Amino acid sequence: MKKRLSVLVAVLMMLVLAACGGEDSEETSGGEEDLTIGISLPSATHGWMGALIDNAEEQAKEIKESDGIDYVITNAADPNTQANDVDDLIAQEVDAIVLLPIESAALSPVGQKIKDAGIPLVVVDRELENDAATVVVKGDNEGIGVNAGKYFVEKLNGKGKVVEITGPPNSVTEQRGAGFKEAIGSESGMEIVASQSGDFSTETSLEVMQNILQAQPEIDAVFTQDDGMALGVIQAIKEAGRDDIQFVTGAGGGKEVFESIRDDGLVSATFLYSPTMVREGVKIAAQLAKGEEPSETNVILEATEVTKDNVEEYYDPDSKF
């Protein structure tokens, strides 16, 4: 009798353990903790990108804590390295990818690879030259150029010699430049006397502007497509002792530029293009990874003009950017 009872207890214990094991395996085999987002970004070559990388990782960590979705983040200094990074993410069979392409043309074939692999793709900031993206999240790049051009026309009364410092070859650079030229194009007195790439780098823009200052004896104002480049430009102007340049504008919304605007420095205006946009991209990627449909496929953030009149609304002394 005792032997039969012992066997019965043992069987019951096995059934209980099997049931518990079944529940555990069901919990770990299904569910969102098995999902992974791949995030491919450029290296932090300037403040804006550094802030964007921080925002991407912070948002990904928040989603991991709240939804259990894991993430892999990579940073590349050049298009070839970024292409290899994306190939690795595809090989890992991640469930969605967030991509900020270093160069639009160079990364477009990689975007197509992602699409061909059936992986949802969220492109942030710089667009691809094909339709590989599931969703695009960006600032209003053309609006930045248009708003800057209108600012120049107003400040210079429709007449002036202007220098343009652009970014590297990508959609951001093209759209900002096109918007600026469109806005000043109707004014016959406005002339772009030099246009060169500062590569979205403070150091490169300093060197480029030094050369332009030597070649151009008369400059009224400088349009830069990025706040970091604006800082390099004003350093070159100060070192050269030039007092003919009335103002410089940027784009982004960096703390040092806000301080220049507030303190009547040489940078008198910028146009918002917040690095926090990547947070929206990571959130959308999490939705796509879960199989949800995006509410919109093109998310555009407003290019608000910031001058001394409203700079205090946006200035944050504790900002990393």
Q: Is residue 215 part of a domain?
A: yes
pLDDT for res 231: 96
Give kind and range of the element (H or E) at residue 161.
strand 159-166
Percent of the chain exceeding pLDDT 90 equals 79
pLDDT for res 33: 57
Q: Are residues 225 and 247 in the same domain?
A: yes
Q: Is residue 2 part of a domain?
A: no
Q: Are residues 79 and 94 in the same domain?
A: yes
What lies within 8 Å, CB to CB, of 86 at 6+ separation is 38, 40, 97, 99, 107, 110, 113, 114
What does the DSSP 8-state code read for residue 128? P
pLDDT at position 31 over 80: no
pLDDT for res 32: 53
For the CA atoms of 245, 258, 54, 59, the dihedral, rounded to the nearest 10 degrees, stands at -130
Band the pLDDT of 46: cuts 50, 70, 90.
Answer: confident
Q: Are residues 67 and 133 in the same domain?
A: yes
DSSP assignment of 12-25: HHHHHHHHHHHHHH
pLDDT for res 70: 96
- Structural domain that includes position 75: 34-139+275-301
Q: Whole-angstrom Cα distance, residue 169 to residue 164?
A: 14
Q: Is residue 119 part of a domain?
A: yes
Q: Are residues 147 and 188 in the same domain?
A: yes
Q: Whole-angstrom Cα distance, residue 312 to residue 321?
A: 16
Least confident of 2-16, 80-94, 186-200: 2-16
110-119 mean pLDDT: 97
| Contact between 221 and 156 (Cβ < 8 Å) | yes
| Contact between 168 and 106 (Cβ < 8 Å) | no
Band the pLDDT of 6: cuts 50, 70, 90.
Answer: very low
One-letter amino acid for residue 288 of the chain: L
Kindly report, residue by residue over 49-106, the tens digit of the pLDDT: 888 999 999 999 999 999 999 999 999 999 999 999 999 999 999 999 999 999 989 9
For the CA atoms of 121, 127, 129, 130, the dihedral, rounded to the nearest 10 degrees, stands at 30
185-190 mean pLDDT: 94
Q: Are residues 241 and 279 in the same domain?
A: no
Q: Is residue 259 part of a domain?
A: no
Closest listed residue to residue 271, CA positions, set 203, 223, 201, 234: 223
234-257 mean pLDDT: 96
201-211 mean pLDDT: 96
pLDDT at position 274 over 90: no
Number of structural domains the chain divides into:
2
Instruction: Enter the tokens of residue 74.
Output: 């990579």
Task: Pick the more confident residue, 121 or 3.
Answer: 121
Q: Are residues 133 and 151 in the same domain?
A: no
| Contact between 245 and 220 (Cβ < 8 Å) | yes
The span from the first CA to the last CA of the chain, in angstroms, equals: 78
Band the pLDDT of 175: cuts 50, 70, 90.
Answer: very high
pLDDT for res 18: 43
Residue with tokens 């069901």: 26
Q: Are residues 50 and 80 in the same domain?
A: yes
Q: Whole-angstrom Cα distance, residue 114 to residue 98?
A: 11
Q: Are residues 155 and 167 in the same domain?
A: yes
Instruction: Enter the tokens of residue 296.
Output: 């919109």
242-251 mean pLDDT: 97
Q: What is the mean pLDDT of the chain?
A: 89
pLDDT at position 178 over 80: yes
pLDDT for res 85: 97
165-178 mean pLDDT: 93
Helix residue ranges, H only, 30-128 = 47-67, 79-91, 104-116
CA distances from 195 to 162, 166, 173, 263 (A): 9, 7, 12, 28
Q: Is residue 243 part of a domain?
A: yes
Closest listed residue to residue 222, CA positions, set 254, 188, 258, 269: 269
pLDDT at position 145 over 60: yes
DSSP assignment of 266-308: SEEEEEB--TTHHHHHHHHHHHHHTTPPPS-SEEEE---EE-T
Q: Are residues 46 and 134 in the same domain?
A: yes
119-128 mean pLDDT: 95
Q: Is residue 257 part of a domain?
A: no
pLDDT at position 5 over 60: no
Q: Is residue 29 part of a domain?
A: no
Percent of the chain exceeding pLDDT 70 equals 90
Least confident of 152-156, 166-170, 306-310: 166-170
Helices and strands (DSSP H and E) totals, the chain: 11, 12
Give kind and range of the element (H or E) at residue 6.
helix 2-29
Say which CATH number the domain at 110 has. 3.40.50.2300
Q: Are residues 152 and 297 in the same domain?
A: no
What does the DSSP 8-state code read for residue 252? B
Q: Is residue 1 part of a domain?
A: no
One-letter amino acid for residue 256 of the chain: E
